[in-house]
């Protein structure tokens, strides 16, 4: 029998007091090869709580499953958290007083606690594995988010004794999780609601070990927009997807912070320090959230618009380089970026808008060509426009616009009948930045040669 739990009728009275009044939370991911958006949100809430309370945010890697534990899989998690701006006070890379922070390196600790439970008679062997003998009680979870919930563990059929150690000596999640939370002096466990039903088991372990359990806060899950469970493949499920998709960390952080929590005053675009200031675990709601990529994109545009030109430049550059666009000097890129920045929702969309600024081999969209050059007069007009611009003493947006209007008047055409053909001729497409500023940036030489070239290749072959 489990003597810790019996303790001559004193029960919880002889529990060891926690020596630290300090707030300490932890994010304890398993290195599965990707960081789930729900995990990112859990980490975020832990981090926000720690920062709000002036406590410590600990990162612990739960890599007891040796099979799929690789350095790459760990790196993905670390990179994702760093990208989101969630710095940890203790954990991989930064150390701390309660390490090591990889479960695979904490073997002796688990062995010690295992012996404790064994000596207390709380364990029994089953086919080589070790099980924890439940006290078969009603265990009540006092949860900051969910309230008090009673779980009746009395029926062994429905609540079998949990296994804590496999025949090969490796450890099971419930056990190491509890041991580490004790050893690392965790004061608040903030995790996904999928763990709520596991919590009574964890509480039994704490009781058997004679340690007062931490406070719990189970936060709602993030599901797909249709309510199904988000898996790796689903859009928006992986933090890496946001990094590669050209999202800004602040935007994703802001969006995720509002899934299950809000400042209660209808504000949505919240700076990080403001979120830290206002974050309140007790005000987290209990309803699962459905993920909406559209809204996340909207946040991204909000944050994108707040970047300075130089920030936008720096942020865009990796995506431009990845797209293989040779931009020449940074100075050549800036004016183009200034034209294009209001058109994009993500950094990944930047290259798509500026390709034709940096090559003469830009493609022509067939639909745009059909629309712009449907009639032979389009070429006459373009030719007249080309002549007028060729002799324009000044090459700036205002001059170009004035000249175009004059040409249109001379030709008895409306100005906007000249705009689309011009745009398609110089860019190959029907939409883009404001035309005249765009031509100003493009420059006289390239604009004129493109106009002539487009007339040559798109003019009717019947002439």
Binding mask 69-108 for RNA (x = CB under 7 A): ----------------------------------------
> Which residues within the stretch 43-62 sit at the binding site for RNA (CB under 7 A)?
62
Q: How far is the CB of 343 from RNA (least distance, A)?
A: 5
Taking a C-beta distance cutoff of 8 angstroms, is the pair 429, 365 a contact?
A: yes
Among 25, 35, 205, 258, binds RNA (CB under 7 A): 258
Among 289, 448, 454, 455, binds RNA (CB under 7 A): 289
Catalytic residue among 229, 232, 405, 414: 232
Among 423, 448, 450, 454, binds RNA (CB under 7 A): 423
Q: Checking DSSP bridges between strand 129-132 and strand 163-165, what pairing results, if any?
A: antiparallel
Active site residue 264: no
Taking the least distance from each CB to RNA, the nearer of 321 and 377 is: 377
Taking the least distance from each CB to RNA, the nearer of 14 and 229 is: 229
How many other C-beta atoms are found inside a 10 Å radius of the C-beta of residue 220? 20
Q: What is the dihedral of CA 410, 415, 420, 423, to 10 degrees?
A: 80
User: What does residue 438 show for φ and ψ, rounded to 5 degrees?
Assistant: -65, -40
In 23-80 the beta strands, taken as DSSP E runs, fall at: 24-27, 56-59
Binding flag, residue 220, RNA (CB under 7 A): yes
Cα–Cα distance for residue pair 185/67, rounded to 1 Å: 29
User: What does residue 405 show for φ and ψ, rounded to 5 degrees?
Assistant: -65, -40
Among 9, 19, 54, 266, binds RNA (CB under 7 A): 266
Binding mask 326-345 for RNA (x = CB under 7 A): ----------------xx--
Q: How far is the CB of 449 from RNA (least distance, A)?
A: 22
Question: Which one of 91-99, 108-116, 122-130, 448-456 is the stretch in contact with RNA (CB under 7 A)?
Answer: 122-130
How many other C-beta atoms are found inside a 10 Å radius of the C-beta of residue 296? 22
Cα–Cα distance for residue pair 367/380, rounded to 1 Å: 21
Q: What is the DSSP letter of 126?
A: E
Among 14, 295, 322, 453, binds RNA (CB under 7 A): 295
3-state secondary structure (DSSP) of residue 153: coil
Among 9, 147, 328, 393, binds RNA (CB under 7 A): 147
Binding flag, residue 277, RNA (CB under 7 A): no
Cα–Cα distance for residue pair 352/377, rounded to 1 Å: 30
- Do you find a cis peptide bond into 100, omega within 30 degrees of 0? yes
Binding flag, residue 447, RNA (CB under 7 A): no
Binding flag, residue 196, RNA (CB under 7 A): yes
Among 298, 358, 362, 395, binds RNA (CB under 7 A): 298
Binding flag, residue 190, RNA (CB under 7 A): no
CA proximity to 210, closest of 134, 140, 117: 117
Taking the least distance from each CB to RNA, the nearer of 15 and 198 is: 198
Cα–Cα distance for residue pair 25/45, rounded to 1 Å: 10
Number of H helices, E strands in the chain: 19, 11
Q: How far is the CB of 151 from RNA (least distance, A)?
A: 6
Q: What is the dihedral of CA 26, 28, 34, 40, to 10 degrees?
A: -30
Longest dimension (CA), the chain: 107
Taking a C-beta distance cutoff of 8 angstroms, is the pair 223, 230 a contact?
A: yes
Cα–Cα distance for residue pair 91/99, rounded to 1 Å: 7
Taking the least distance from each CB to RNA, the nearer of 30 and 386 is: 30
Binding flag, residue 228, RNA (CB under 7 A): yes
Among 22, 87, 105, 152, binds RNA (CB under 7 A): 152
Binding flag, residue 281, RNA (CB under 7 A): no
Q: How far is the CB of 62 from RNA (least distance, A)?
A: 3
> Which residues within the stretch 6-45 sit at the binding site for RNA (CB under 7 A)?
29-30
Q: How far is CA 320 from CA 214, 234, 327, 354, in A?
A: 48, 26, 8, 9
Taking a C-beta distance cutoff of 8 angstroms, is the pair 64, 104 a contact?
A: yes
Binding flag, residue 135, RNA (CB under 7 A): no
Binding-residue total with RNA (CB under 7 A):
80
Taking the least distance from each CB to RNA, the nearer of 3 and 370 is: 370
Taking the least distance from each CB to RNA, the nearer of 30 and 187 is: 30
Binding flag, residue 184, RNA (CB under 7 A): no
Among 108, 273, 294, 361, binds RNA (CB under 7 A): 294
Taking the least distance from each CB to RNA, the nearer of 147 and 460 is: 147
- Total residue length of the chain: 463
Among 18, 185, 290, 452, binds RNA (CB under 7 A): 290
Enzyme catalytic residues: 232
């Amino acid at each position: 029998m489990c003597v810790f739990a019996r303790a001559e009728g004193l029960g919880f009275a002889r529990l060891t007091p926690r020596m630290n009044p300090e707030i300490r939370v932890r994010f304890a991911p398993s290195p599965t090869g990707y960081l789930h958006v729900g995990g990112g949100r859990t980490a975020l809430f832990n981090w926000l709580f720690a920062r709000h309370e002036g406590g410590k945010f600990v990162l612990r890697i739960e890599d007891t499953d040796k099979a799929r534990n690789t350095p790459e899989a760990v790196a993905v998690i670390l990179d994702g958290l760093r990208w989101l701006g969630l710095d940890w006070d203790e954990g991989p890379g930064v150390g701390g007083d309660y390490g090591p922070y990889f479960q695979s390196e904490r073997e002796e600790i688990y062995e010690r606690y295992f012996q404790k439970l064994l000596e207390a008679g709380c364990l029994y062997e089953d086919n080589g594995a070790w099980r924890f003998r439940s006290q078969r009680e009603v265990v009540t979870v006092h949860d900051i988010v969910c309230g008090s919930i009673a779980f009746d563990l009395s029926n062994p059929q429905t609540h079998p004794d949990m296994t804590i150690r496999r025949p090969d000596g490796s450890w099971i999640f419930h056990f190491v999780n509890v041991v580490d939370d004790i050893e690392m002096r965790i004061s608040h466990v903030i995790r996904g609601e999928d763990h709520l039903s596991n919590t009574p088991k964890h509480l039994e372990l704490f009781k058997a070990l004679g340690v007062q359990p931490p406070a719990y806060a189970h936060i709602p899950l993030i599901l797909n927009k249709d309510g199904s469970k988000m898996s790796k493949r689903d859009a928006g499920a992986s933090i890496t997807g946001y990094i590669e998709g050209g999202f800004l960390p602040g935007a994703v952080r802001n969006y995720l912070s509002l899934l299950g929590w809000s400042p209660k005053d209808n504000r949505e675009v919240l700076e990080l320090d403001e979120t830290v200031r206002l974050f309140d675990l007790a005000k987290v709601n209990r309803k699962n959230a459905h993920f909406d990529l559209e809204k996340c994109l909207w946040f991204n545009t909000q944050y994108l618009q707040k970047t300075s030109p130089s920030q936008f430049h720096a942020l865009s550059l990796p995506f431009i380089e990845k797209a293989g666009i040779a931009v020449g000097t940074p100075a050549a890129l800036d004016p183009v970026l200034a034209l294009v920045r209001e058109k994009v929702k993500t950094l990944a969309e930047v290259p798509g808008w500026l390709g034709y600024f940096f090559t003469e081999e830009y493609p022509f969209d067939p639909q745009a060509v059909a629309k712009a050059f449907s009639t032979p007069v389009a070429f006459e007009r373009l030719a007249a426009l080309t002549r007028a611009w060729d002799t324009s003493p000044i090459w700036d947006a205002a001059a170009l616009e004035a000249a175009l209007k004059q040409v249109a008047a001379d030709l008895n055409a409306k100005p906007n009948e000249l705009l689309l053909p011009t745009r398609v001729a110089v860019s190959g497409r029907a939409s883009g930045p404001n035309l005249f500023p765009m031509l100003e940036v493009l420059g006289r030489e390239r604009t004129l040669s493109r106009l002539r070239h487009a007339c040559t290749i798109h003019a009717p072959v019947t002439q």
